[in-house]
Amino acid sequence: MPIPTPTASESQNEYVGRCMEAIGGEYPQDQAVAICISTYRREGMKKIKSMDKKAMARIKYDTEFRGINLAPLEKGENDPCWENYVQVGTKIVDGREVPNCVPLKD
């Protein structure tokens, strides 16, 4: 099942509960919680207008989730990356969010 998108009026706890219901059976519990929390925070970063604040939020996000597997390294049919690469989250390039493609062997 796809990861749900947070609504504007949802708190982090409300979203994580709804997200866990949707994807909890697909991933180990700790990984599912990390995916849900990171999705909520990533959506929150999209609302930040100031580039300085957006950059600081991205640094904080990357630090908090460093070393946590937020998605399985499997090539999906909708994966936007090249052959032998898989998307692992997103990154900011030239002020826009793009897929973070890494080699499958990593």
Confidence of residue 74 (pLDDT cuts 50, 70, 90): low
Count the domains in the chain: 2
At 69 the pLDDT is 64
Q: How many CB atoms sit inside 10 A of residue 41's CB?
A: 16
In terms of domains, do 42 and 10 share one?
A: yes
At 11 the pLDDT is 93
In terms of domains, do 66 and 14 share one?
A: yes
In terms of domains, do 4 and 42 share one?
A: yes
pTM exceeds 0.85 for this model: no
In terms of domains, do 55 and 86 share one?
A: no
At 99 the pLDDT is 85
Rounded distance, CA 56 to CA 85, Å?
Answer: 28
Q: Quick check: 106 pLDDT over 60?
A: no
DSSP type of residue 71: S
Nearest in space to 69 (alpha carbons), one of 26, 32, 104, 19? 32
At 13 the pLDDT is 93
Rounded distance, CA 8 to CA 36, Å?
Answer: 15
Rounded distance, CA 2 to CA 77, Å?
Answer: 13
**DSSP bridge partners of 87:** 101
- From residue 28, give the alpha-carbon distance in Å to each of 47, 48, 72, 93: 30, 31, 11, 31
Query: Domain of 90?
Result: 71-106
Interval 34-66: pLDDT, tens = 889 989 988 888 888 888 888 888 888 888 877
Rounded distance, CA 19 to CA 76, Å?
Answer: 20
Rounded distance, CA 60 to CA 15, Å?
Answer: 20
